């Protein structure tokens, strides 16, 4: 443990243990109505100011699945989400580490068709898509709609301690089709076809609840039922033990193509150019909790 362990009234030793061991926790009523308004304002800003990576996540579905992430113009809009809500303090308390850096936002707007349930999000891990490793990593998943456990995200408990698989291409024809396909990372198993073989957990959630998970955990699900919308926001954070981890095909040319799709160069792209194993830091990622803030 580094420094003085952070405290927050909604985080106890059982939650800390579950986050470390299971890889996911649900904090009931952790966000006040005022904080939820701040988070919804940030969500709405993203919808109104799409980055170049915004668009349909599952093309061809009768329903719609819209997403956007890591808009380089978003940091000012999301400053209140980090400065005026308890989220950074909660993340710090779960890690028992004082310092928390903000990485980026991701928004999801899913709508089921009139008589169709929107396609579920395929099983995947987030880390294959990110140039980072470490224990002190967290994704905070926020819902603005009540969701039962069948509409919410699903997780394979403890899988963040296991194999890091290749990413999913989110191809409707095959959820396990590899993102890279280089052989550096093994192909995803077909979890949906063998659900009984995995310790799957999900949470019914209300606005004000937070689901916090490690980005190496296998997760998926969250379909939008027929005629129903689902508005969710994910905020990503990293801590002091985070290190740069290159992924297959991370070449300068590939990074330039990615950066060219955005309105500016996001610090995530600069981090990829750092040496493998180096501390994951960049002035573009703000420190949102800690003694040095």
**CATH number for the domain that contains residue 141:** 2.60.120.620
18-46 burial code (b ≥16 CB/10 A, e <16):
bbbebbbbbbeebbeeebbebbbebbebb
More confident residue, 225 or 293: 225
For residue 213, the 8-state DSSP code is E
pTM of the model: 0.89
Task: Kindly state whether residue 290 falls inside one of the protein's structural domains.
Answer: no
- What confidence tens digit (pLDDT) does each residue in 229-260 have? 889 999 999 999 999 888 887 754 444 444 44
What is residue 57's predicted lDDT score, i.e. its pLDDT?
61
Task: Kindly state whether residue 262 falls inside one of the protein's structural domains.
Answer: yes
Q: What is the mean pLDDT of the chain?
A: 86
Task: Kindly state whether residue 7 falls inside one of the protein's structural domains.
Answer: no
Task: Kindly state whether residue 55 falls inside one of the protein's structural domains.
Answer: yes
Domain extent, residue 218, equals 13-285
How many independent structural domains does the chain possess?
1
Task: Kindly state whether residue 292 falls inside one of the protein's structural domains.
Answer: no
Structure tokens at 174: 């095959």
């Amino acid at each position: 443990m580094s420094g003085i362990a952070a405290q927050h009234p909604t985080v106890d030793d059982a939650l800390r243990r579950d986050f470390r061991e299971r890889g996911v926790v649900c904090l009931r009523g952790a966000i006040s109505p005022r904080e939820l308004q701040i988070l919804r304002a940030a969500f709405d800003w993203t919808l109104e100011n799409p980055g170049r990576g915004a668009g349909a996540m599952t093309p061809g579905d009768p329903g719609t699945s819209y997403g956007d992430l890591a808009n380089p113009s978003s940091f000012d809009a999301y400053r209140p989400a980090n400065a005026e809500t308890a989220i950074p303090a909660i993340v710090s308390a779960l890690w028992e580490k004082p310092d928390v850096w903000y990485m980026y936002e991701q928004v999801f707007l899913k709508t089921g068709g009139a008589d169709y349930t929107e396609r579920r999000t395929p099983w995947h891990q987030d880390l294959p898509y990110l140039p980072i490793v470490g224990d002190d990593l967290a994704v905070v998943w926020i819902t603005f709609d009540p969701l039962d456990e069948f509409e919410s995200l699903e997780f394979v408990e403890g899988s963040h301690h296991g194999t890091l698989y290749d990413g999913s291409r989110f191809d409707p024809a095959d959820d396990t089709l590899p993102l890279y396909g280089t052989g550096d990372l093994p192909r995803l198993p077909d979890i949906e076809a063998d659900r009984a073989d995995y310790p799957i957990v999900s949470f019914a959630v209300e606005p004000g609840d937070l689901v916090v998970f490690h980005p190496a955990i296998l997760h998926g699900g969250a379909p939008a039922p027929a005629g129903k919308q689902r508005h969710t926001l994910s905020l990503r954070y990293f801590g002091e033990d985070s290190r740069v981890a290159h992924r297959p095909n991370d070449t300068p040319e590939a990074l330039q193509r990615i950066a060219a799709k955005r309105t500016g160069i996001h610090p995530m792209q600069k981090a990829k150019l750092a040496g493998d194993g180096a501390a994951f830091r960049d002035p573009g990622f703000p420190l949102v909790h800690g003694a040095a803030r």
